Amino acid sequence: MFGLIGHLTSLEYAQSLADRLGYPEYAEQGLDFWCMAPPHILDEIKVRSVTGQVIEGRYVESCFVPEMLAQNRFKAAMRKVLNAMAHAQKHGIDITALGGFTSIIFENFNLEQIRDVRNVSLDFRRFTTGNTHTAYIITQQMELAARDMDMHLQRATILVCGASGDIGSAVCRWIAHYYPNADLILVARNQQRLQEFQQELGMGRVLTLEEGLPLADVIVWVASMPKGLDIDPAVLKNPCLVIDGGYPKNLRTQIQRPGVRVLQGGMVEHALEIDWRIMEWANLTDPGRHLYACFAEAMLLEFEGWYTNFSWGRNQITLEKMAQIGAVSRKHGFQPLLS
């Protein structure tokens, strides 16, 4: 059985959804209450691959909301992630994806140091960040959309914002390997880590976001922050391809300008039969056909019986692993979202 650990995009949305689903006890409460709320299994999922294979899964709502980070409620945020993981393991889930902010919290707060959560000793082999599949999907979105826009990646200026992160570094490695002549711009908040990564990569130049944005033909946005960032669309090139793979995915509404194409990064379109309710809660354009690539990774690992933490730790994603997950992604009916 596979599992998905997720969260809602804001406190306000969490409250309105709790109201809609008939949980008035949760709907009327402010951040303090959500900081104390335990995880819940809110959905039982059945998935049929295009190959005909059927698997089952569970959705674990962590009760985390991004306001916990914005308002420095870090302890609460950490508890949400660890408790949701313990909940998944206690319910016998074999492989669980840490969706949205949960994998970022796990990584940034070094939660791998905390193995024991009450009477559960976490077995990290049962969890995956899903980042390998997300990175693979982003590279495919970039390649296919660029082709569609008559853009040649080999000659393009590609800016990766969040380049030293897990997904960002994987995307950069992929660019360095397949498009070594591209002009790669590396942007990240942590300058020391970024410089080290640039040396390791042997390619790309480090710029600030303000310096880089006006130069880029392609922008891969994989930085995640609790409140998002304002980008002035006027500084962008025409044409420009923007792949919004961070959280929250708000660049699409922010950047509306002719010649600029914004894709929801790290999202897949699929032809699988999935019986669930949770995607209707995720504010997606087509909840029946669209899905987060990180969640899809847990399904792929379950389909293939790869009960292992396929994506784990920072900067461990190799091109081989991206190719490996890419092959089974296509096999079971997932495609990069291009609409």
Q: Residues interacting with another protein, by CB under 8 A?
A: 22-23, 25-26, 28-29, 32-33, 35-42, 75-76, 78-79, 82-83, 87, 90, 114, 118-119
Rank residues 121 and 154 by Cβ distance to another protein and give the closer one.
121
Q: Tell me the closest approach of the beta carbon of residue 37 to another protein, in angstroms.
A: 7
- How far apart (Å, rounded) are the C-alpha atoms in residues 221 and 247? 9
How far apart are CB 40 and another protein at their closest, in Å?
6
Query: Shortest gap between Cβ of 29 and another protein (angstroms)?
Result: 6
d(CA 52, CA 308): 23
CA atoms within 13 A on the CB side of 135: 32
H-run or E-run covering 302: helix 293-304
Tell me whether residue 28 or residue 232 sits nearer to another protein (CB atom).
28
At closest approach, how far in Å is the CB of 226 from another protein? 19
Between 13 and 33, CB nearer to another protein:
33
| Nearby residues of 161 by Cβ (< 8 Å), 6 or more positions away | 168, 187, 188, 209, 212, 219, 220, 221, 222, 223, 246
Distance CA 57, CA 75 (A): 28
Q: What is the DSSP string of 13-56?
A: HHHHHHHHTT-HHHHT--HHHHHHPPPEEEEEEEEE-TTS-EEE
By beta-carbon proximity to another protein, the closer residue of 75 and 177 is 75
Shortest Cβ 165–another protein spacing (Å): 24
